[in-house]
Structure 1
Amino acid sequence: MVATLPREDVASEIATRLAGPWQTVVWNDPVNLMNYVEHVFREYFGFSAAKARERMLAVHNDGQAVVAEGAREQMELHARAMHDYGLWATVRKAEA
């Protein structure tokens, strides 16, 4: 016999899975120059020069950098914006 959850429990389970925080992650790629990635971080996120350089170096040296954290919908907008700039970006649930 298969157990089914009441609709309220299913909605609660979905809400729990979607609850934040989520992260926008920018990945290293073989196309974009480091100074361009730094420029994008400053222009789009409004990072200081030092913070933009730190995140760019994380992308370059570690292969990825978390550039934003928050609600899933906002992180998806950030990832889409990074794609518009030609950067590789994904959204992932932040580790607890």
Structure 2
Amino acid sequence: MRFSVPKNAGPSTVDAPTVEKETRSKEDVDLPWQVVVHNDPVNLMSYVTMVFQRVFGYPREKAERHMLEVHNNGRSILWSGVRERGELYVQQLHGYLLLATLEKAG
């Protein structure tokens, strides 16, 4: 099989890739972010307690208190701080199949 190059084909040029810089507003940086766990009908209370202990290092009593808040009120704020750390916590909670979100405090 032969490949031919068209006669009018000059040297090929490739545009340099554009790098998009992620910009965050001052509000994104300054405001604390909250990791919120929402109630779901699937996970057992003992399982949720164990996940809170593993992910956040909470003692059993604190993990149970948050688990009961999720169960009784539909949600609980488990952690507050910088956005990047909150994103990591939410990903870890999703890995345990818990319903978690990251919200701006305030």
RMSD: 1.4
**Secondary structure of the equivalent of 1:25?**
strand
More helix by share: 1
> Residues of 2 paired with 1:29 and 1:16: CA distance?
31
Q: Which amino acid aligns with 2:102?
A: V
Give the TM-score normalised by structure 1: 0.82
Residue 100 of structure 2 aligns with which residue? 89
- Which of residues 68, 87, 98 in structure 2 aligns to 1:76? 87
Residue 54 of structure 1 aligns with which residue? 65
Q: Which amino acid aligns with 1:64?
A: R
Q: Which amino acid aligns with 2:94?
A: H
Within 5 Å, give how 1:1-96 maps onto structure 2.
14-95=25-106
> Residues of 1 paired with 2:95 and 2:39: CA distance?
16
Q: Which amino acid aligns with 2:47?
A: Y
Aligned residues: 84
Give the TM-score normalised by structure 2: 0.74
> Residues of 2 paired with 1:17 and 1:85: CA distance?
27
> Residues of 1 paired with 2:92 and 2:80: CA distance?
15
**Secondary structure of the equivalent of 1:89?**
strand
Q: Which amino acid aligns with 1:50?
A: E
**Secondary structure of the equivalent of 1:40?**
helix
Shift of 1:61: 0.4
**Among the aligned pairs, what percent are the same residue?**
45
| Runs of 4 or more above 6 Å deviation | none
